[in-house]
Chains A and B, each alone.
Chain A
Amino acid sequence: MLSDRRKNIAIFLLPSLVMLIVTVVVPLLYSFATSFFSLDLKYKGWGEFVGLGNYFSALKDQYFMGSIKTTVIFSVIVVAIEFIVGFAIALLFNTNVKGKNFFFSIVIIPMMITPVAVGLTWRLLLHSTLGVVNWFLSLLGIAGKAWLADNATALATVIFIDVWQQISYMVLVLLAGLVSLPKEPYEAASIDGASKWQSFKFITMPLMAPTFLVAILLRLITAFKTYDLIYVLTKGGPGTSTEVVSYYIYKTAFTHLKTSKAAAMSFILLIILIPVSYIATRILKNRNEG
């Protein structure tokens, strides 16, 4: 017999547990199973069992590998810029600058808009003939461009927009880290003769290191899964210049209708991301215990 307490716990957990199983666990297992068959939406049934065949064919697919490369480039650049600029902004907010609260709200706004709305807004802003950006550049005597349709600028433009939206996350996490740093070591350092810069180098940086790592890793994971912004802005084009892996998987499943192969690709993506999130959670756990 269950004790009353345990029964209560079970009753309260049940609804969310059912939700999780129905929406997460079942689809996950289903797609995992799918990845070993040759399921194709053009035909009925699961197709035949092919073992790891879908995985091998995914790894041999040059478009898939290309999309992974694009994703890596996109993620690394996006996270690097967001981290550096975001940390600079966080440092600024951590001082007693005037109008801090006002600017803080502004920095936070982009985070609250859904990526689809962000994408649509920027598509309009960047429109080659009707957009505000090109109009503004023309005032300065600079020739406008079809920013998102040009092979040379498409990826950079997407990166810019993603940074514009996601930097607030970096600012928030890093600022939270800065605010929670102990004050005493800074007093001790100033007594010990350290300059502002030395305090920053010898105290702020090492004390922030775990926060840095967690912020970067978590953001890398989300950057690696970027899909909606690409879908709205470029649909992976021009050519494959902005085709990130999530978008390519979507295309494989719902344009080429190769469901099993798409499932295999998803699991390859998962395998890439698991170690990253594992390290991040380990650091978080260490920090909370320390």
Chain B
Amino acid sequence: MATVTLKGIKKIYPLSDDDKKKGKKGLFKKHEEEIEHEEKVNLQITDQGTVAVQEFNLDIADKEFIVLVGPSGCGKSTTLRMIAGLETISEGELYIDGQLVNNKPPKDRDIAMVFQNYALYPHMSVYDNLAFALKIRKTPKDIIDKKVRDAAEILGITEYLHRKPKALSGGQRQRVAIGRAIVREPQVFLMDEPLSNLDAKLRNQMRAEIIKLRQRIDTTFIYVTHDQTEAMTLGDRIVIMKDGFIQQIGTPYEVFHHPANLFVAGFIGTPQMNFFKTELAEENGQYYVPLFGVKFPMDAAHMEQIKEKGIKPQEITMGIRPEDVSICYEGGVEATVDVCEMMGSSLHIHTTIEDKEIVVIAQSKELPEDKQLGFAHGDKIRLHFDGHVLHLFGLDEKNLF
């Protein structure tokens, strides 16, 4: 049993002494400049410090696998470190197993963690790194030995057991970091981008190992990643964050098929969802989306919701996933091919319609034989999309449905 509950969690990193000396004004100024020059930095800097995470509410069920995703700097590690007890919680309450643990030190929380920066013990061999937690718990020597060797076997680091971390590659260090967590049987596993430094093959292999580990130990996992495949395949539920705020919590299916807002829609799925600024219009009670001179009618399911929620015709951003666009030979809209990427069984076709870019995924074997290897620059194709696969977002960027 280990549920984890986060209630209104907020994290403010206090200003460093340097920042204080520069003065609040200087800091704000710098912040504004940053916004001008770089991509948007929406983190709030108040007189108390940098707000890294706020209004974080999440109920994690026992044995659930939660994945935190979001762009760099959105507060994923901070959240994880608060759960671990490595960062103080500025506001809100954290319960593990129903117990308030805000002030409990990490060692009393019974958690294992894979650190984003590995945090290996530099002076210990790989073997001792793996064995440390067990030694602290006074586990008998033969059991330690077995567990360490088993973990090393799973991770493929047996031959490095006697080496110091200094003499390992990044990927090998990362596997040691994972190993240090999996020799234990904690209440909660916290993993901060544990596979980020592995090559594609090893990453797939390790992902499978994590799934196996979960079946074997069957406990609560909180997992941070940048990788969509990991998020989709591992997570029972995915938490998408941006600038310290939760954007959506949902199953992989929900966040993919029903993104709560524009950000989630754009963040989940590769290639990215196509977006068009247009409107939701009405004609004789039937709603439709005009685009490229074509009226895309809303299907019955959408119409029902429109009636139920009383949605009015309005300006919208329409989104459609590349896999939901199909190539047709009659009707639809004509598009010009820019670039065509051959991905193996499928093609990613970048096209333009009236200066707007739209990406299409086509299954290679469903195309005419002469096009199976791809289209040439300048080729004309016709594209079609159904009303039921359209995602509509209002001016507030929220999903209309």
Could you tell me if A190 and B123 are in contact, using CB atoms closer than 8 angstroms?
A: no
CB pair A187–B136 under 8 Å, yes or no, is no
Contact indicator B121/A191 (Cβ below 8 Å): no
Asked whether any CB of chain B lies closer than 8 Å to the CB of A290, the reply is yes
Interface size on A, residues (CB 8 A): 18
Interface segment, B105-113, B152-160, B198-206, B351-359? B105-113
0/1 interface trace, chain B 79-119, chain A, CB 8 Å (1 if under) = 00000111000000000000000000111000111010111
Interface residue? B120 (CB, 8 A): yes
- The B interface, classified by DSSP as helix, strand, loop or mixed, is loop
- Closest beta carbon of chain B to A199's beta carbon, Å: 9
Residues in B with CB closer than 8 Å to A48 are: none
Interface string of B126-162 (1 = CB under 8 A from A): 0000001100110000000000000000000000000
Closest to A182 in B: B122
Interface residue SS majority, chain A: helix
Known: A184-B115, A185-B122, A206-B123. A190 touches B86 (CB 8 A): yes
- Asked if A207 and B122 sit within 8 Å, CB to CB, the answer is yes
A184-B115, A203-B121 known; A190 vs B166 contact (CB < 8 Å): no
* A188, B119: Cβ atoms closer than 8 Å: yes
CB distance from A188 to the nearest CB of B (A): 4
User: Cβ of A189 < 8 Å from any Cβ of B?
Assistant: yes
A188 near B136: Cβ-Cβ < 8 Å: no
Q: A192: which of B85, B86, B105, B136 is its contact (CB, 8 Å)? A: B136
A189, B132: Cβ atoms closer than 8 Å: yes
Cβ of A198 and Cβ of B136 under 8 Å apart? yes
Residues in A80-129 with C-beta less than 8 Å from chain B: none
User: Which single member of A189, A192, A207 contacts B123 (CB below 8 Å)?
Assistant: A207
Measured between beta carbons, the chain A residues less than 8 angstroms from B112 are: 191
The complex places the Cα of A206 from the Cα of B120 at a distance, in Å, of: 14
Asked whether B180 is an interface residue with its Cβ less than 8 Å from the other chain, the reply is: yes
Mask: chain A, 165-198; 1 = CB below 8 Å from B; 0 = not: 0000000000000000010110111111111001
A187 touching B107, Cβ below 8 Å: no
In the complex, A49 has a CB within 8 A of chain B: no
Q: Which residue of B115, B123, B137, B184 is within 8 Å of A188 (Cβ)?
A: B115
Shortest distance between the CB of A121 and any CB in chain B (Å): 36
Q: Is the CB of B121 within 8 A of A185?
A: yes
Residues of A within 8 A of B84 (CB): 191
Tell me the smallest distance from the CB of B165 to a CB of chain A, in Å.
10
Give the docked Cα–Cα distance between A206 and B128 (Å): 13
Cβ-defined contact, A187 with B122, below 8 A: no
- List B contacts of A194 (CB < 8 A): 107, 132, 136
| Total A-B Cβ pairs within 8 A | 57
* Chain A residue with the shortest CB-CB distance to B109: A191
CA distance A184 to B118 in the complex (A): 8
Interface presence of A63 (CB below 8 A): no
**A254 CB within 8 Å of chain B:** no
Contacts of B117 in A (CB 8 A): 184
Given the complex of chains A and B, what is the CA–CA distance between A189 and B122 in angstroms? 12
A200 CB–B CB distance under 8 Å? no
Within 8 A of B (CB), among A234-290: 290
Q: Which of A184, A185, A193, A203 is in CB contact (< 8 Å) with B133? A: A193
A187 vs B121: C-alpha distance in the bound complex, in angstroms? 10
CA distance A203 to B115 in the complex (A): 17
A195-B107 in contact (CB<8A)? yes
Q: How far is the CA of A92 from the CA of B111 in the complex (A)?
A: 30
Within the complex, what minimum Cβ distance (angstroms) separates B296 from chain A? 53
Known: A195-B107, A202-B132, A290-B166. A190 touches B119 (CB 8 A): no
A sample of 19 inter-chain contacts (CB < 8 A) reads: A182-B122, A184-B115, A185-B119, A185-B120, A185-B121, A188-B113, A188-B115, A188-B119, A188-B121, A190-B105, A191-B112, A191-B113, A192-B107, A193-B107, A193-B133, A193-B136, A203-B123, A207-B122, A207-B123
Q: 15 extra interchain contacts, Cβ-Cβ under 8 A, other than A192-B107, A207-B122?
A: A184-B117, A184-B118, A185-B119, A188-B113, A189-B121, A189-B132, A190-B107, A191-B84, A191-B107, A191-B112, A193-B107, A193-B133, A194-B132, A194-B136, A195-B107
Q: Which residues of A contact B (CB under 8 A)?
A: 182, 184-185, 187-195, 198, 202-203, 206-207, 290
